[in-house]
Structures are given as C-alpha cells and as structure tokens.
Amino acid sequence: MNMILLGPPGAGKGTQAFFLVESYAIPQISTGDMLRAAVQAASPMGVKAKACMDAGELVSDDVVIGIVRERLQQADCDNGFILDGFPRTLPQADALQDVLKDLGKELEAVVSLRVDTDALVERLAGRRSCPQCGKGFHLKFDPPREDGTCSACGGELVQRDDDKEETIRKRMEVYHRQTAPLEDYYSQRGVLIAVDGMAEIQAVRAEIKAALQAG
Ligand code: AMP
C-alpha cells in the first residue's frame, strides 16, 4: 500500500500511521520526525530547518523533497509506505509524482483527516512527550499518572517547541493556505479518501481500514 496521510497538525496522522504500520507492515515516513532528528543531530540541514520549524513555517521544498526521495528508495519501502506530513505544498506533490514514477511506484490512497481548528489547538497545546522513550501523552485526553513524568519510563515530559499556542495558530494558517489545496489535487486524481478526524481514535481507525479495503 503506497499512501499519504493528509491533515492539519494535530489531526491524528501520527496516531493513525501507527495502526497502519501494524496492519500493513510498511514504514511511516514522517518528514517532521526526520527534520527533528536532523535538528537534534545539529546537521547543517537541521540547523537551517530549525528556524522555520520554530516559527511554524515550512522548510523549503527542495530540502524535504530531497529527504523523501532518498527515503523512498530504501528497501523497507518495497511493499509500501505511509507518508505523514509530506507533501505539504503543490510543488511537493508534483515532485512526489516524479519520484514515484522514477521508482516505478504508484500512489494508491490519500487519506485526509478532517478536523475543526479550535479543537486542534486544544489537542496540540496539550501534547507532551517523553524524550527518553518517545511515548506521547495529552494533558486532558491521555494524562500521565504523575504530572510532568512519563508513566512508562519516569522520564521528564516535554512540549514540542512548535506546540506553543501562537506557533500552532501559525501552523494552521500555513496548512490552510499551502496544504489544503492538495485535497483537490488528489481528488482530481481519484485517490482521495476523506475521513472525519474528530471521531474517537478507534472509530477513525475503523473508517480508514474500511475505506482502504473498499478501494
Ligand atoms: P510535523 O511534525 O509534520 O507537524 O512537522 C513539523 C514541522 O516540520 C513543520 O511545521 C515544518 O516546519 C516542518 N515540515 C515537516 N514536513 C514538512 C514538509 N513536507 N514541508 C515543509 N516543512 C515540513
């Protein structure tokens, strides 16, 4: 299954990707995660990307297209992949078509998670994660047993720099301006599956599964 998960920040792409990775045994390719790893490693690309990420803006198309082109060539993508957070602009979508053509692959589904902006701000502003084991929490929807402490490993929970409310609003605005047009782009290509991302996690999961099986 070669697919994309589309949706604004906080729509639950990462959560649903986790289920899809299990069901299809294919990798999740998150450009956000790869960029954060580059920032962490303080690579030249990471240093450049950090300023854009902290401001809630997009990193340049060339950089992310390069990362994805390289990643899709790895052997674990032979049976499929889940792109999470890419493409985010029309030039990225066009570039992806070119990359897939070069690799002899075809895009099979684009699942778009639709959600309400105010609810998203609440979801994102409450997100916390453990830098030690990677587990995610939510202050309201999935709180840790003890404030500020990872229930799995005892690590100190942190908030992503770009999950601060002001940056979240900026990321939403960027999404609506630059990424939302991709729904039409993929609808015209007959691969768009729109899903109600406001439903319970398991209900969203079931809806995606049914739609992919029907397609
Ligand atoms: P995410 O974790 O997907 O929300 O991504 C976090 C940040 O990484 C975004 O706000 C952007 O600054 C950057 N980023 C991730 N994916 C892309 C992309 N496809 N194009 C441009 N910037 C991206």
Give the C-alpha separation, 30 to 38, whole Å. Answer: 13
Across the chain, mean pLDDT equals: 93
SS3 (DSSP) at 115: coil
Give the C-alpha separation, 184 to 197, whole Å. Answer: 18
Give the C-alpha separation, 62 to 67, whole Å. Answer: 9
**Residues of the chain below pLDDT 70:** none
Pairing of strands 136-138, 192-196: unpaired
- The pTM score is 0.86
At 47-80, the pLDDT tens digits run: 989 999 988 899 999 999 999 999 999 999 999 9
Burial of 114 by CB count in 10 Å (0-12 exposed, 13-18 middle, 19+ buried)?
Answer: middle
Residue 101 annotated to the active site:
no
b/e burial code for range 6-27 (CB count within 10 A of at least 16 → b) = bbbbbbbbbebbbbbeeeeebb
How many A from CA of 151 to the centre of ligand 1?
A: 28
Two tokens, residue 73: 């060539």
Q: Which atom of ligand 1 is nearest to the CA of 162?
A: 10
Give the C-alpha separation, 9 to 120, whole Å. Answer: 8
Residue 13 annotated to the active site:
yes
**Which residue has tokens 């790895």?**
74
Q: What is residue 166's predicted lDDT score, i.e. its pLDDT?
A: 86
Give the C-alpha separation, 69 to 61, whole Å. Answer: 12
Q: Which CATH architecture has domain 2-26+79-117+179-214?
A: 3-Layer(aba) Sandwich (3.40)
Q: Which of 36, 50, 171, 205 is catalytic?
A: 171
Q: What is residue 16's predicted lDDT score, i.e. its pLDDT?
A: 94
Residue 127 annotated to the active site:
yes
Ligand 1 pocket mutation, candidates 54, 57, 58, 62, criterion most atoms within 8 A of CB:
58
